[in-house]
């Protein structure tokens, strides 16, 4: 015994000695890595992937959160397909997204170009345009209720001075969604403008100079030099703003709460009502899964479109 | 000065634009100091005749608004501190340390970005209910303890740092944690500032999480408090605007004081770095 003990280490010393220690070192390396990355990973994954999987099981049940759930298979999804409220909510959401995303990109670029001028007061202008982004959507909604108040709001006062008849704005089923889109833009343009401003300042000056010495007009420079340079940022902004539009909740909650006549009931708001007002948890979860599928599809489309345009340009 | 710089036509575009963005906020502040009679007169007036404090007084006596503000400050502070610590640690781990499961863990984190908050509302509420934190401030800050965005931002930043400094520290015998805190973190100030600003904005302005999880009005954050107050006082505009001022001005003033840095941190969002 003693011999083997003595012999083994001696003969196998180099390999045998290193292996356990490198194993221990590897273990400590893994542990150190997990000590750094573990807590945040646990929180992020635990608060999103885990509930997302759970939501799928809830979506296949009929459940009010109190009484035991009954498994109904795909029934919630089947009923969603024929639900007129869901169809209306999807339509409102698509309208909002179709208005909000292009508008925030176009206005964001225009505002950024204006803010990129080296003129007096430019710091003041930048501050003004960014301030609404800092205000919460809840407060913005309450403020908008005042500004667009049909009786004594500032918006109708401006229209009156222009000789245009007073409007109902948020109280009109035909106008409310457009007004909400305008309010959302008011709050978000500061963010897109700042992102585009940074991108504009990153465009190499030589590129613009070269085009100018070649005799290109400012419009052609914008079209053929500036815009292509902004493309990666536009892909980022398009995805970011699509998510913002699809998930818009706070603003609707503090302006119309889905009304008038459900005209501003978006999918998100509908899910909130289903789950937390009428306690139809399973049906609400199914609607949420549908929204998730649409979000994924739209983001994939935007990325694909951006890539295709990107490869065409170069 | 004025004669040397020619008047730029851009002012004709920028001036009205700036007014559109700022005037509603100015009107919010002015209206909070008006009496109900002044608000209801026709045509509407922008300026109050004198400083009326009725709106603020009514808000302070009829609602625990100061409690709501204190709750919000606490929730935001916990969110920001936790974000800075956990996301910078994780970002460094994913950028520099080699450990089993690193690739998979990072993939999982990236995948969570695609999951919309609405999908999480119902199960998260149920999780909070089982954990017994419904109707407590924890329900407002637990969703903001760390985020995929924060981890990703910090990882990108650390990947861009030259590795030589850390190697030198390691050769001097410093541990991984010591290298991180005394060599890497001091260099990460711009990224940490960005993370702090975004977390502060999201947690302070969050409505959805506290709305679904908190119904005890002494545990409300300011946003939920405002929204519920609005539900009962739809026409008390001076009180509503006073509440709006209290909810938005802390962040707006902070922004005006630190705006140069603030905007720099917004643009830092990984688009430049």
Structure confidence at residue A7 as a pLDDT band (50, 70, 90): very low
Q: Which residues of A touch B221 (CB under 8 A)?
A: none
Structure confidence at residue A15 as a pLDDT band (50, 70, 90): very low
Q: pLDDT for B175-209, tens place per residue? A: 999 999 999 999 998 889 889 988 999 999 999 99
Q: Could you tell me if B242 and B200 lie in one domain?
A: yes
**How far, in Å, CA of A155 to CA of A148, rounded?**
5
Longest dimension (CA), chain B: 77
End-to-end CA distance of chain A: 74
Q: Does the residue A218 lie in any domain?
A: yes
| Angle separating helix axes A13-46 and B65-96, nearest 10 degrees | 150
- Mean pLDDT across chain A: 86
Q: Could you tell me if A50 and A114 lie in one domain?
A: no
Cis before A165? omega within 30: no
* CATH code for the domain of A239: 1.10.3720.10
B122 and A285: CB-CB below 8 Å? yes
Q: Does the residue B86 lie in any domain?
A: yes
The count of structural domains within chain A is 2
Q: Does the residue B59 lie in any domain?
A: no
Q: Does the residue B237 lie in any domain?
A: yes
Q: Could you tell me if B110 and B87 lie in one domain?
A: yes
Q: Could you tell me if A128 and A225 lie in one domain?
A: yes
Going by C-alpha positions, the residue among A183, A190, A299 that lies closest to residue A250 is A183
**Beta strands A70-71 and A61-62, pairing class:** antiparallel
Q: Does the residue A52 lie in any domain?
A: yes
Q: Could you tell me if A88 and A65 lie in one domain?
A: no
Q: Do B142 and B83 meet the contact criterion of CB atoms below 8 Å apart?
A: no
Could you list the residue range(s) of the whole structural domain that residue A107 is in? Answer: 76-308
Structure confidence at residue A96 as a pLDDT band (50, 70, 90): very high
Q: Could you tell me if B98 and B43 lie in one domain?
A: no
Q: Residue A119 burial by CB count (10 A; 0-12/13-18/19+): exposed, middle or buried?
A: middle
Within 10 angstroms of residue A83's Cβ, the number of other Cβ atoms is 17
The count of structural domains within chain B is 2
Give the model's pLDDT for residue B143: 92
Q: Does the residue A299 lie in any domain?
A: yes
Chain B interface test: which of A48, A235, A267 (most B C-beta within 10 Å): A48
How close does chain B come to A125, measured CA to CA in Å? 6
Could you list the residue range(s) of the whole structural domain that residue B33 is in? Answer: 12-52
Q: Which residues of A touch B176 (CB under 8 A)?
A: 32, 36
Per-position DSSP letters for B42-63, written without gaps between them:
SS--SS-SS---HHHHHHHHHS
From A273, which residue of chain B is nearest by alpha-carbon distance? Answer: B212
Q: Could you tell me if A244 and A172 lie in one domain?
A: yes
B138 against A65, higher pLDDT: B138
Q: Could you tell me if A126 and A253 lie in one domain?
A: yes
Give the model's pLDDT for residue A22: 73
B22 and A271: CB-CB below 8 Å? no
Q: Do A197 and A112 meet the contact criterion of CB atoms below 8 Å apart?
A: yes
| CA angle centred on B222, ends B220 and B223, rounded to 5° | 95
What average pLDDT does the segment A25-42 reach? 93
Report yes or no: A258 at the B interface, CB cutoff 8 Å.
Answer: no
Residue A181: is its pLDDT beyond 50?
A: yes
Reported ipTM? 0.89
Q: pLDDT for A196-223, tens place per residue? A: 998 998 888 888 889 989 988 989 999 9
Q: Do A39 and B146 meet the contact criterion of CB atoms below 8 Å apart?
A: yes
- Mean pLDDT across chain B: 89
Residue B267: is its pLDDT beyond 80?
A: no
B207 and A250: CB-CB below 8 Å? yes
Domain boundary, last residue among A71, A99, A131? A71
Going by C-alpha positions, the residue among B124, B147, B113 that lies closest to residue A43 is B147
Q: Could you tell me if A197 and A234 lie in one domain?
A: yes
**How far, in Å, CA of B163 to CA of A115, rounded?**
37
Q: Does the residue A177 lie in any domain?
A: yes
Report yes or no: A86 at the B interface, CB cutoff 8 Å.
Answer: no
From A271, which residue of chain B is nearest by alpha-carbon distance? Answer: B118
Q: Does the residue A14 lie in any domain?
A: no
Report yes or no: A199 at the B interface, CB cutoff 8 Å.
Answer: yes
B10 and A29: CB-CB below 8 Å? no
Report yes or no: A299 at the B interface, CB cutoff 8 Å.
Answer: yes
Give the model's pLDDT for residue A243: 83
Between A32, A186, A246, which is nearest B176 by CB? A32
Between B86, B204, B259, which is nearest A43 by CB? B86
Residue B249: is its pLDDT beyond 80?
A: yes
Q: Does the residue A56 lie in any domain?
A: yes
Q: Could you tell me if A51 and A125 lie in one domain?
A: no
Q: What percent of chain A has pLDDT over 70?
A: 91
**How far, in Å, CA of A109 to CA of A92, rounded?**
26
For residue A71, the cross-strand partners are: A61
Give the model's pLDDT for residue A312: 41
Q: Could you tell me if B32 and B78 lie in one domain?
A: no
Q: pTM for this structure?
A: 0.86
Q: Does the residue A2 lie in any domain?
A: no
Q: Could you tell me if A31 and A87 lie in one domain?
A: no
């Amino acid at each position: 015994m003693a011999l083997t003990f003595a012999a083994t280490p001696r003969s196998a010393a180099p390999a045998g000695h290193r292996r356990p220690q490198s194993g221990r070192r590897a273990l400590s390396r893994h542990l150190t890595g997990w000590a750094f990355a573990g807590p945040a990973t646990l929180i992020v994954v635990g608060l999103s992937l885990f509930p997302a999987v759970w939501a799928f099981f809830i979506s296949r049940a009929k459940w009010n959160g109190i009484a035991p759930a009954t498994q109904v298979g795909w029934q919630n999804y089947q009923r969603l397909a024929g639900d007129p409220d869901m169809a209306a909510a999807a339509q409102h959401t698509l309208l909002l997204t179709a208005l909000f995303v292009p508008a925030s990109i176009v206005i964001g670029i225009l505002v950024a170009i204006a803010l990129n001028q080296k003129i007096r007061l430019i710091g003041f202008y930048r501050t003004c345009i960014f301030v609404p982004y800092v205000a919460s959507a809840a407060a913005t909604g309450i403020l908008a209720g005042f500004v667009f108040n049909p009786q004594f709001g500032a918006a109708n006062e401006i229209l009156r001075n222009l000789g245009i008849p007073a409007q109902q704005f948020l109280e009109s089923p035909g106008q409310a969604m457009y007004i909400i889109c305008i309010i959302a833009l008011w709050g978000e343009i500061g963010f897109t403008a700042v992102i585009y401003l940074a991108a504009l300042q990153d465009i190499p000056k030589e590129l613009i100079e070269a085009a100018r010495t070649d005799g290109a007009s400012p419009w052609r420079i914008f079209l053929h030099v500036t815009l292509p340079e902004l493309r990666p940022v536009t892909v980022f902004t398009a995805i970011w703003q699509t998510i913002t539009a699809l998930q818009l909740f706070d603003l609707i909650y503090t302006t119309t709460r889905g009304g008038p006549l459900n005209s501003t009931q978006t999918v998100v708001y509908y899910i909130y009502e289903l789950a937390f007002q009428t306690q139809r948890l399973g049906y609400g979860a199914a609607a949420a899964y549908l929204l998730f599928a649409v979000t994924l599809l739209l983001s994939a489309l935007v990325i694909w479109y951006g890539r295709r345009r990107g490869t065409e340009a170069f | 000065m004025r004669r040397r710089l020619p008047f730029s036509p851009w002012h004709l575009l920028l001036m009205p634009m700036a007014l559109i963005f700022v005037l509603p906020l100015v009107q919010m502040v002015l209206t909070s100091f008006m009496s109900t009679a002044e608000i209801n007169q026709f045509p509407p007036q922008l300026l109050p005749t004198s400083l009326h404090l009725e709106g603020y007084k009514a808000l302070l006596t009829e609602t625990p608004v100061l409690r709501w503000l204190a709750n919000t400050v606490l929730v935001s502070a916990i969110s920001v501190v936790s974000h800075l610590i956990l996301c910078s640690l994780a970002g460094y781990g994913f950028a520099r340390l080699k450990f089993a499961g690193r690739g998979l863990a990072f993939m999982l984190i990236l995948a969570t970005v695609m999951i919309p908050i609405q999908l999480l509302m119902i199960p998260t509420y149920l999780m909070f209910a089982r954990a017994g934190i419904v109707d407590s401030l924890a329900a407002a800050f637990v969703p903001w303890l760390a985020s995929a965005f924060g981890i990703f931002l910090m990882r990108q930043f650390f990947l861009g740092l030259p590795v030589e400094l850390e190697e030198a520290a390691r050769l001097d015998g410093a541990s991984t944690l010591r290298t991180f805190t005394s060599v890497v973190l001091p260099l990460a100030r711009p990224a940490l500032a960005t993370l702090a600003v975004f977390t502060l904005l999201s947690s302070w302005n969050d409505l959805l999480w506290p709305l679904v999880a908190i119904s005890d009005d002494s545990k409300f954050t300011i946003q939920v408090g405002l929204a519920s107050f609005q539900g009962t006082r739809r026409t008390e505009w001076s009180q509503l605007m006073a509440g709006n001022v209290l909810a938005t001005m802390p962040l707006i003033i902070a922004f005006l004081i630190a705006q140069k840095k603030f905007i720099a941190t917004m643009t830092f969002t990984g688009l430049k770095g």
